[in-house]
Structure 1
């Protein structure tokens, strides 16, 4: 008998959830070149900052939970949560992870997400999410994220940051991915998801959430993000990874 897991508004077959998450990973690799390198660097830096693995981790904009799952496998004693606004992606996370990761609904454009997530995290990550928000909300996010972290905790933001304003640890730049191919893969993935009868109520919820929320496509340079982090009260802030226009910023609370 197939294993199933209940998510709000849907009952998912676990094998089906796993399969769709795997195809999501392929789509994301089209948008973010060398994504595996980013994730490995992120984890190694988090371990180096504390001298050991983190105890509490929060992955914001965590989607179907791929990064959160990888962190669970790497840090077996850690408590890991993810947060996303998308009910479909959250359903896939809950259906595949079966309680290994706490999956929370939250909107990063408002400060209420901090109350839902709680505080005291050693590591907060947000990958390919902040470009959806306009500049004022991104600035507010840095303040919210600092309140979410334990003293000395680490925030890692990976997104489109098209410059070399801060030192890169990755060396020479790599070419940007084929955006047209990536966009087509994205559209095909969502078209396939729409055929899943069990997810149609959540797809309707998703449509209502994003109906009046077009992405801001905010792509400030890394130096802008570092300055915003420092203004929010972070101490050290700098680029830890870069690949073409994509970069990851680390900031210590």
Structure 2
């Protein structure tokens, strides 16, 4: 469905999405900046880098990449038909530099969906925590075959502490709760309020219905993989250098260099 056929200001809705997300993740923009800085540095010698944005939502990460890397091309992949349509309506294709792809990360075979055997980088923001340990390992294994030698993977997400840590997880949970309280007190939207308001916009009902059907059976009945699991799975997938170049409590940018 093409939301540009409506009179709604979808660019403003993308801004509202970013503000709503920042209410939960107060350092979200900082970690975007760090991640794009790394892309810019590592891919400096690549004429037209191809970057995959996994779980792209409405394209916040892709938007920042194409703004900073003037020759980069992003393949923005997500299952959510509403957020993909919002991204298309707000950002378009950025003069052919953003391609929107609907696919389910729970089961997708990335090379087939992308139509490519190799890419320069894969990024993700606030998305891969939806994957179980088994599915995350399978996804990283695919990335090991997809990212070219010398290319990279960046995951910007809340990634739990390894082992039996208790103090840091409690600090992280408290920090998130306080951030949400501050955002709401300042008039910000939370997740539910944003979606409720969006559902009232003209032209969106069919997409909302499609989204409800797609996500009806999806649950998170597993413990989120901890940092040590991510590191081990990336190394096993062939990423020789793995580390955390930035973090605020459990909010991290995880880097893997192929």
**TM-score, normalization: structure 2?**
0.84
Distance in 2 of aligned mates of 1:114 and 1:223: 27
Could you tell me which residue of structure 1 aligns to residue 82 of structure 2? 88
1:58 lines up with 2:52 in the alignment: yes
User: Helix, strand or coil: the match of 1:219?
Assistant: coil
Structure-2 separation of matches of 1:37 and 1:194: 30
- Structure 2 unaligned blocks of 5 or more: 164-170
| 2:35 alignment partner in structure 1 | 42
Kept after mapping to 2: 8 A contact 1:31/1:177? yes
Report the equivalent of 1:152: 150
Local SS of the residue matching 1:107: coil
Write out aligned runs for 1:164-183 (5 A).
176-178=175-177, 181=181
Distance 2:222 2:249 in 1: 17
Report if aligned partners of 1:107, 1:113 keep a CA contact under 8 Å in 2. no
Distance 2:148 2:156 in 1: 20
Alpha-carbon shift at residue 205 of structure 1 (Å): 0.7
1:92-171 → structure 2 map (5 Å cutoff) = 92-100=86-94, 101-117=98-114, 118-163=116-161
1:32 corresponds in structure 2 to 25
Judge conservation of contact 2:52–2:122 (CA < 8 Å) in 1.
Answer: yes
CA distance in 2: counterparts of 1:15 and 1:248, whole angstroms: 34
Given that residues 109 and 133 in structure 1 are in contact (C-alpha distance below 8 angstroms), is that contact kept between their aligned partners in structure 2?
Answer: yes
8 Å Cα contact 2:144-2:239 kept in structure 1: yes
RMSD: 2.4
Secondary structure of 2:190's aligned partner: helix
**CA offsets 1:188-231 (integer angstroms, 9 cap, x no match):** 00001111230111111100010000235643322220101011
Distance in 2 between the 1:28 and 1:86 partners? Answer: 16
Distance 2:26 2:45 in 1: 28
Question: How far 1:160 sits from its partner (Å)?
Answer: 1.8
> How much has 1:10 moved relative to structure 2?
4.4
Aligned length: 239
Instruction: Please report how far the alpha carbon of residue 128 of structure 1 lies from its aligned counterpart in structure 2 after TM superposition.
Output: 0.9
Out of 21-30 and 113-122, give the one that drifted further.
113-122
